[in-house]
């Protein structure tokens, strides 16, 4: 994601961002959660693609992903969870107003 942003390639960033989230959910090993997550991730990806050029450059997203990865590598489950939750909340709080301005109610 960092390389894609450095090259101003938002489509490559979006693809890498989607892959990160999918890998994170699948690597948990719970198939039921992975299936539920797939539905949520599909909607998130559609929102990401609709707002890609309307939002600030997603450098903060890359930093937040690194915090999640670092916590996982260190075995800090609570911190990883808290970082992931904060990341999703920040993204939600940024994307929902953009979708609302576009008049998009359902994805």
Q: Three-state SS across the chain?
A: CHHHHHCCCHHHHHHHHHHHHHHHHHCCCCHHHHHHHHHHHHHHHHHHHHHCCCCCCCHHHHHHHHHHHHHHHCCCHHHHHHHHHHHHHHHHHHHHHHHHHCCCCCC
pLDDT at 24 over 70: yes
Closest by CA to 48, choosing from 38, 58, 60, is 58
The token pair at 100 is: 């609302």
Using CA atoms, how far apart are residues 5 and 26, in angstroms rounded to an integer? Answer: 25
| pLDDT (mean) for 86-106 | 88
pTM score, two decimals?
A: 0.84
**pLDDT of 105 above 80:** no
pLDDT over 70 for what percent of the chain?
98
> Would you say residue 19 has pLDDT above 90?
yes
Task: Work out the average pLDDT over 39-66.
Answer: 89
């Amino acid at each position: 994601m960092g390389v894609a942003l450095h090259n101003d390639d938002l489509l490559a960033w979006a693809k890498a961002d989607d892959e990160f989230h999918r890998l994170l959910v699948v690597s948990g090993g719970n198939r039921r959660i992975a299936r539920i997550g797939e539905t949520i991730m599909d909607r998130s990806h559609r929102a990401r693609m609709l707002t890609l050029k309307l939002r600030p450059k997603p450098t903060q997203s890359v930093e937040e992903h690194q915090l999640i990865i670092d916590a996982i590598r260190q075995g800090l489950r609570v911190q990883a969870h808290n970082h992931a939750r904060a990341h999703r909340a920040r993204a939600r709080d940024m994307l929902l107003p953009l979708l609302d301005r576009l008049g998009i109610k359902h994805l």
